[in-house]
Amino acid sequence: MSTRKSIIRGTGAYLPSRILSNDDLSKMVDTSDEWIQERTGIKQRHIAAEDQVTSDLATAAALDALKNAGVSVDDVDLIVLATTTPDQTFPATATAVQAKLGVKSGAAFDVQAVCSGFLFAMATADSMLKQGLFSTALVIGAETFTRILDWSDRGTCVLFGDGAGAVVLQAEETDDDVGVIAHHIRTDGTKSDLLYVDGGVSSTGTIGHVRMQGNQVFRHAVTNISSAIKHVLDETELTIEDIDWFVPHQANQRILNGVAKKLGLPEDKVVSTVALHGNTSAASIPLALHTAVADKRINKGDLVLSEAMGGGFSWGASLFRL
């Protein structure tokens, strides 16, 4: 019997042209290319131009995804944008994307789950499409994350970058084994002091800067991610051996390797862009997904497992077939 499913029609990405290398950073704080590469795998990150805002990056990624999907902007009736670095406090950055794209119908709103944001946005859009509320969704992760960095804090400023990625999700009645299969999203508000921004509209009236106890986050990341992955696999009849590609949040090469090892996933199934993009928070998963689709590693029919962990704590996993 056919059921209503959310099908991934296409992916897209946008990276600002300016690149900041580890050597550039070593002139700003007491760090080195050797330390950053050894502890994180990061070689460089992209930085948005001064006149670029998050919705500019998101719009560029969305246009790329629509072109690759062969879907017209007129068909889009839902935009769910995951971001921690909105253009303004309100309205939602997704509505700026809606206006820039010229989308005239439906709804657009933001989702805030920091580095896990894209998986929360996918789960939200998938549920709304399956319920029949909308038919064609742009799910976007976009960040100008470097705007909330303390450039004198070597423990955080070397880790993050800017960018955007997007997928076009479309509802379809089908009995084919395609589209979004399962997702699991969770948060634990008691751990917010380990990764947060020390400012906000109603607290300090300032934007604030990222603060992180990196080694504590690292410890929780591997445990929470592994548990979320177990949940999505348990919901299905699929096993780790069925996974064609692992597209994790790109925080640290050591976390990627640790999770892959714990799962028994061979390294050649892991998509890693952390070396070239750094941690782009909500943008990292769709950027990595698009990279591997564009270079033809991930193809139609492939089963993809994704996961993320971020501030909140928030974490999750998603399973989908292209």
Which residues are identified as catalytic? Answer: 115, 249, 279
Q: Is residue 39 at the binding interface for ligand UT7, with CB under 6 A as the rule?
A: yes
Question: In this chain, which stretch among 90-98, 102-110, 126-134, 209-217 interacts with ligand UT7, using CB under 6 A?
Answer: 209-217
Selected from 199, 208, 214, 258, the binder of ligand UT7 by CB under 6 A is 214
Q: Is residue 179 at the binding interface for ligand UT7, with CB under 6 A as the rule?
A: no
Binding to ligand UT7 by CB under 6 A, coded x per residue (else -) over 146-175, reads --------xx--x-----------------
Nearest distance in Å: CB 259, ligand UT7? 11
**Count of CB atoms situated within 10 Å of the CB of 266:** 10
Question: In the range 42-61, which residues lie near ligand UT7 by CB under 6 A?
Answer: none
Question: In the range 215-234, which residues lie near ligand UT7 by CB under 6 A?
Answer: 215, 217-218, 221
By beta-carbon proximity to ligand UT7, the closer residue of 72 and 215 is 215
Q: Is residue 119 at the binding interface for ligand UT7, with CB under 6 A as the rule?
A: no
Question: How many positions of this chain bind ligand UT7 (CB under 6 A)?
Answer: 20
Q: Is residue 115 at the binding interface for ligand UT7, with CB under 6 A as the rule?
A: yes
Q: Is residue 193 at the binding interface for ligand UT7, with CB under 6 A as the rule?
A: no
Helix axes 54-69 and 93-101, enclosed angle (nearest 10): 50
Q: Is residue 199 at the binding interface for ligand UT7, with CB under 6 A as the rule?
A: no
By beta-carbon proximity to ligand UT7, the closer residue of 46 and 321 is 46
Selected from 6, 22, 40, 136, the binder of ligand UT7 by CB under 6 A is 40
Q: Is residue 310 at the binding interface for ligand UT7, with CB under 6 A as the rule?
A: yes
Where do contacts with ligand UT7 occur on this chain (CB under 6 A)? Answer: 31, 35-36, 39-40, 115, 154-155, 158, 214-215, 217-218, 221, 251-252, 255, 279, 309-310
